[in-house]
Amino acid sequence: MPSLRKPWLGMLLIGVALALLPFLIGKGLGNSWVRVLDFALLYVMLALGLNIVVGFAGLLDLGYIAFYAVGAYLYALLASPHFGLHWPIWAVLPLGALVAGLFGVLLGAPTLRLRGDYLAIVTLGFGEIVRIFINNLNAPVNITNGPQGISQIDPVRIAGTPLSKTLEVFGLSFPSVHLYYYLFLALTLLIVFVSIRLEDSRIGRAWVAIREDEIAAKACGIDTRNVKLLAFAMGATFGGVAGGLFAGFQEFVSPESFGLMESVMVLCMVVLGGMGHIPGVILGGLLLAILPEALRHGAVPMQQAAFGKVLLDPESLRMLLFGLALIAVMLYRPAGLWPEARRKREFTAGKAS
């Protein structure tokens, strides 16, 4: 990571910019955009988690959202009036990460022998199984409250202060979305840091070796079974953390948020940004999270200006443009928007991976 070797001044400037960002956006565009930014950070965490599985280890996972769901529901069950439990975030988030990690191993174990597209369909099936169970586990024992989802989830509390209310400190007022922004930013940075350290570690190199050639990796003495399981578990852990934060932020979870389309969306972020390349993945996550919202807000005024009336409803226009954007980006930059240098070299040398 060259950015780590830049002078500390650059880091400081980026830090200040990130800290001021919600105020600038809140002033310029309104606090609903800070909320969009909060969601974008959640998606960045998810994309970084999936990047470990797909980008580093090369295991195509189409059911990644299941881990997000596990994290979110664990938080929802342990901190809501549904069971009357109100555990603090410090207990729930690590537990969510752990349980999601266990689910990762659960998924990884039977799929170790599968490769490529067989793996894709099994992970997809796993994601659907988790969603269907969440959707139906309201009878005979009501665990997940079925399709209605769980509401009135406790907001995240830090040192006794709920993040769902505006906080006044030294005459500065921090609305709820700003507070969540800082929390999410801190955890995103943590996840980025862990990702970078993992990439440079022995395990990270083992993952890349498996991605490039599993048999050669095995021949070099890499315990491919454990290393692959670790990739699944690690990626799932990130997903679990993001899920817990999502539940606390939304104060509501329902099975609808965890469909296959969400898994596909996160995968698109990873691939579109540049698989295996952390800055690229972050870019992909931010773009795909913010772009559809921008399209949604821009669609109505644009049509009114162009045709004098609203021809297409903004929701379908948004999806239409999104689909076209996916196609266009892949056609013109098949290795992603910001690919890893190594991958780019391979690609321009005409070697398909």
Q: Is 124 in the site for another protein (CB under 8 A)?
A: yes
Q: Is 114 in the site for another protein (CB under 8 A)?
A: yes
Q: CA angle at residue 69 from 89 to 238, to 5 degrees?
A: 65
Residue numbers 324-343 binding another protein by CB under 8 A: 324-327, 330-331, 334-335, 343
- Which DSSP category does 308 fall into? S
Min separation Cβ 5 and another protein, Å: 29
Of 248 and 284, the one with the shorter C-beta distance to another protein is: 284
Q: Which residues are CB-neighbours of 57 under 8 A, at least 6 positions away? A: 207, 208, 210, 211, 227, 228, 231
Residue numbers 60-79 binding another protein by CB under 8 A: 60
Min separation Cβ 196 and another protein, Å: 22
**Part in contact with another protein (CB under 8 A); list of ranges 10-18, 39-47, 167-175, 320-328:** 320-328
Cβ atoms 282, 44 nearer than 8 A = yes
Min separation Cβ 169 and another protein, Å: 44
Cβ atoms 85, 114 nearer than 8 A = no
**Part in contact with another protein (CB under 8 A); list of ranges 92-100, 174-182, 186-194, 313-321:** 313-321
For strands 150-151 and 157-158, give the pairing.
unpaired
Cβ atoms 55, 212 nearer than 8 A = no
Of 54 and 72, the one with the shorter C-beta distance to another protein is: 54
Q: Is 140 in the site for another protein (CB under 8 A)?
A: yes
Q: Which of 238, 70, 87 is nearest to 144 (CA)?
A: 70
Q: Which of 351, 222, 331, 346 is nearest to 277 (CA)?
A: 346
Binding residue for another protein, selected from 53, 183, 208, 272, defined by CB under 8 A: 272
Q: Torsion angle of alpha carbons 133, 136, 141, 144, nearest 10°?
A: 70
Per-residue binding letters, 221-260, with another protein (x by CB under 8 A): ---------------------------------------x
Min separation Cβ 40 and another protein, Å: 19
- Tell me the two tokens of residue 190: 């943590």
Of 282 and 335, the one with the shorter C-beta distance to another protein is: 335
Per-residue binding letters, 173-212, with another protein (x by CB under 8 A): ----------------------------------------
Q: CA angle at residue 91 from 49 to 99, to 5 degrees?
A: 45
End-to-end CA, the chain: 23
Min separation Cβ 327 and another protein, Å: 4
Distances (CA, A) of 347 to 199, 326, 328, 350: 21, 19, 18, 5
The structure tokens 């579109």 sit at: 272
Instruction: Collapse the DSSP code of 186 into the 3-class scheme (helix H, G, I; strand E, B; otherwise coil) and give the result.
Output: helix
Min separation Cβ 260 and another protein, Å: 7
Q: Is 347 in the site for another protein (CB under 8 A)?
A: yes
Q: Is 320 in the site for another protein (CB under 8 A)?
A: yes
Cβ atoms 96, 70 nearer than 8 A = yes
Q: Is 105 in the site for another protein (CB under 8 A)?
A: no
Q: Is 213 in the site for another protein (CB under 8 A)?
A: yes
Q: Is 132 in the site for another protein (CB under 8 A)?
A: yes
For strands 85-86 and 172-174, give the pairing.
unpaired
Q: Which residues bind another protein (CB under 8 A)?
A: 54, 60, 110-111, 113-118, 120-122, 124-126, 128-129, 132-133, 135-136, 139-140, 213, 215-216, 260, 264, 267-268, 271-272, 275, 312, 316, 319-320, 322-327, 330-331, 334-335, 343, 347, 350, 352-353
